[in-house]
Every structure is written in C-alpha cells, then in structure tokens.
Amino acid sequence: AQRVTQPEKLLSVFKGAPVELKCNYSYSGSPELFWYVQYSRQRLQLLLRHISRESIKGFTADLNKGETSFHLKKPFAQEEDSAMYYCALSRHGNKLVFGAGTILRVKS
C-alpha cells in the first residue's frame, strides 16, 4: 500500500536554527514526491516537488530511494516559515496521498 509517514506532529525550533521535517514513504513503483505548505487559515500551496530539484524559500528536499525518504530541510529557520507542512506522494501521476502533516513553529 502507498503510504506517507511524517513522524513529528510538531517541530519547534528557534529562529536561525536548522530545520528538518521528516517524511518517509512506502510505494512499490517510482514515486513522485511533493511538499505542500499551509499557512494559518490559508489554502495549501505547493512548496516543491522532487523532480524539479529546486529550492523554494530556502527549502530543499532530496529523494532518497534507499531510505525511502524525502525530508524537507532549511539551514536557517525564519519566523514566517511557521506553518503546517505536508509531504505527499503522487500515484499514477494525478492522485496525491498526504502524510499527517507537521506543524513547524519558529520561535524568536
């Protein structure tokens, strides 16, 4: 079965500290992985996808097929990064399966 696991419900860090939001997946095929972000009471929006291999707002994520992971990282957290982050896996190219989400709280 396809599954996305985000083990942390809440991650609290100080401003300027490194951030790593963990995501592990199980999928028998070639997955496409995404990170979506939801700021307070706003719509979900795509942060990044693994195939584009880009950095958005200082965040990066590398697909590690050996460890079946797609962790989201940022070297220096900013207060405006506080949000809910969802890791998602795409099956058959169009259907997203989401993890439970991790709340990132950046403290000043």
Partner 1 sequence: DAGVIQSPRHEVTEMGQEVTLRCKPISGHDYLFWYRQTMMRGLELLIYFNNNVPIDDSGMPEDRFSAKMPNASFSTLKIQPSEPRDSAVYFCASSEGSGNTIYFGEGSWLTVV
Site residues (CB under 8 A) for partner 1?
32, 36, 42-46, 49, 86, 90, 92-101
Give min distance, CB of 13 to partner 1, in A: 22
Whether the CB-CB separation of 89 and 96 falls below 8 Å is answered with yes
Give min distance, CB of 108 to partner 1, in A: 26
Candidates 61, 63, 54; CA nearest to 85 is 61
Please state, in angstroms and rounded to a whole number, the distance separating the CA atoms of residues 81 and 58.
10
Q: Closer to partner 1 by CB, 53 or 76: give it.
A: 53
Three-state secondary structure call for residue 79: helix
Give min distance, CB of 45 to partner 1, in A: 7
Q: Closer to partner 1 by CB, 81 or 101: give it.
A: 101
Whether the CB-CB separation of 20 and 7 falls below 8 Å is answered with no
